[in-house]
Amino acid sequence: MFSFLSPSAPEWAKFLSGKEYKEFMTRLDEYFKGKGLNYVHNNGRLEVPNNPFGMEQLGLVNLAQRCKLTGNGDWSEIIRDHFEGMIKANEFNKEFDKTKKDFSQVKEFVGVKLYNESYFDAVGMENVICRPFANAIIEVLIFDLPHTISNIKPGEANAWNVSNSDLFKIGFENMRKQYPANISKEAFESFSIWFCQADHFFVTNLALDHDEMKKYCGSKGALVGMPHRHALLIYPIESLEVVKAINTLIPVIAGMNNEGPGSISEKLFWYNEERYIEIPYELNEKQLSIKPPNEFVEMMNLLK
């Protein structure tokens, strides 16, 4: 318990205060003791021998972010529901595993999802089927199951005799049909943005849909933020008001990415001609420094 009593939260839980971190770890400890399970905590991950969760390591970042978003109060129920859901998922997966070789049985569960590539540091990229999307964001083939989302492993896909390109198309269509975008125009400071949000985990899949994205772009494209799995921000570019939008959106996107859950990217992108081009910046407590690429500067010079 001594590690729980740190006056400040560690780097992996920097969105929590020292008091909140202590509360989170205390409730976590209570859950595992109640289940009669031993664990070792290492930098935001739990190693739990002989566990019913079906995973060797359990990540804590998203769970801690969810607790943070609920505000003060007893986080025991959130923690319990999270891990009990994993147990149910493991039980379902044992039956699902028996049908994995038959693509006709699993096709409806194939999906795609955007992640930050760092999400798979512990798993290893060799165990993931993915392709680059933008900056450190990758598009990943997943199984969207009733109780969980799991990445499709290369060995599993090899048994289907279906190309990865076709799997990405199938996964995109499955998620597009099951998780429609929930988007509205919102006043934001002195300008407006398109804001897409939902409780499901596939909000940012809208960024994959170029036909749909065109509806929300200006004549010079759009600024796009993908801070976490529940939110997508779009600012249509039509005038030099874009300068104000950049300065306002960057701190917001960075803050949302830090809070999560399901953090994807703190970056700001320029979406133009079906490309996502990063607009680099440096942000600290004192100032924001923006370093737009030459292509973006050339576009701005044409604006009124």
Tens-digit pLDDT profile for residues 107-163: 999 999 999 999 888 788 899 999 999 989 999 999 998 888 989 999 999 999 999
Supply the pLDDT for residue 7.
Answer: 58
**Dist. CA 102–CA 293, nearest whole Å:** 47
pLDDT in tens, 210-268: 999 999 999 999 999 999 999 999 999 999 999 999 999 999 999 999 988 899 999 99
Asked if residue 66 lies in contact with residue 19, where contact means CB atoms within 8 angstroms, the answer is no
Confidence of residue 274 (pLDDT cuts 50, 70, 90): very high
Phi and psi based region of residue 71 (left: phi greater than 0; alpha: psi -120 to 50; beta: remaining):
left
Give, in order, the Cα–Cα distances in Å from 68 to each of 15, 23, 262: 8, 11, 13
Reduce the DSSP state of residue 94 to 3 states and report it.
Answer: helix
Cα gap 14→9, rounded to integer Å: 6
Q: Tell me which residue of 63, 60, 26 sits closest to 42, measured CA to CA.
A: 60
Residue 87 has phi, psi (to 5 degrees) of: -65, -45
